[in-house]
């Protein structure tokens, strides 16, 4: 039997009328998972498994927000993919740029960054000031054996970052339907939120969209999943190579 447009309209009107009549008895609530990818109906542990799998299945993502580690707050705005990443990091009021292409890591910052040690104390000596001036706004190659390499390369490693960040601690449960930047989400929590909360997209693939880390360890947003971007080494004229170790303050 063929249903005409008029028939569909009458049927929709009838459903609405029945719903309105029954609202006092049943609430006739809308299904929050209607038209979604369906993960909102799953147990929290399965949602976490699916969102981690979705995050690992694509090569590119943008990550922005704050991460608190070892008592220090880092504000990140990074584009990441399988073979590297690029973006900015702000710590202690100072912003520097990171670029990793394959194994090669570059760090670009102004002279003030190079004139201070990692605790924010001024470096002494005229030679330090002269070296800092030469590094001002240049991409500095970070040697793989330098302590800074391990410290900063992690900010450019998609798999390493996501594996560490997308883990909720404690008992994982769902915490209702929400919305992030106009996208419907299902929220899961670890230990009622003390172990972190994660909003997972209900539209398209179940990508993680927003993470609040447990213990006040930062809040991060994820976007541009699967959107490729250019990743190229800087021009030679914009690069300084310090050999085996960066200058120390």
- 127 three-class SS: helix
95 has a pLDDT exceeding 70 = yes
123 has a pLDDT exceeding 80 = no
Name residues whose C-beta falls within 8 Å of residue 19's C-beta, 6 or more positions apart in sequence.
Answer: 28
How far is Cα of residue 222 from the mean position of the Cα atoms in its chain? 4
pLDDT tens track for 145-189: 888 898 899 999 999 999 989 989 999 999 999 999 999 999 999
Q: What would the two tokens of residue 104 be?
A: 């090669």
pTM: 0.79
26 has a pLDDT exceeding 60 = no
- Quote the CA–CA distance of 155 and 19 in Å, as a whole number: 52
Q: What would the two tokens of residue 153 be?
A: 């390369």
- Burial (Cβ within 10 Å: 0-12, 13-18, ≥19) of residue 153: buried
pLDDT tens track for 194-211: 999 999 999 999 999 999
């Amino acid at each position: 039997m063929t249903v005409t447009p008029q028939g569909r309209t009458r049927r929709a009107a009838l459903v609405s009328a029945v719903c309105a009549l029954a609202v006092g008895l049943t609430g006739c609530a809308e299904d929050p998972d209607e038209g979604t990818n369906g993960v909102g109906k799953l147990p929290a542990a399965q949602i976490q498994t699916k969102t981690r799998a979705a995050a690992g299945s694509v090569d590119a993502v943008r990550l922005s927000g704050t991460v608190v580690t070892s008592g220090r707050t880092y504000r990140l705005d990074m584009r990441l993919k399988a073979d590297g990443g690029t973006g900015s990091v702000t710590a202690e009021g100072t912003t520097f740029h990171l670029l990793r292409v394959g194994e090669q890591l570059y760090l670009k910052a102004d002279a003030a960054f190079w004139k201070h040690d990692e605790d924010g104390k001024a470096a002494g000596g005229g030679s330090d000031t002269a070296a800092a001036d030469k590094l001002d706004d240049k991409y500095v190659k970070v040697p793989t054996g330098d302590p800074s390499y391990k410290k900063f390369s992690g900010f450019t490693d998609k798999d390493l970052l996501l594996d560490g960040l997308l883990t909720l601690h404690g008992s994982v449960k769902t915490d209702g339907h929400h919305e992030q930047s106009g996208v419907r989400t299902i929220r899961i929590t670890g230990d009622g939120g003390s172990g972190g909360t994660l909003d997972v997209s209900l539209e398209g693939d179940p990508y993680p969209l927003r993470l609040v880390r447990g213990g006040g360890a930062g809040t991060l947003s994820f976007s541009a999943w699967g959107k490729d971007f250019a990743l190229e080494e800087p021009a030679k004229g914009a690069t300084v190579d310090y050999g085996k170790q960066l200058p120390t303050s």
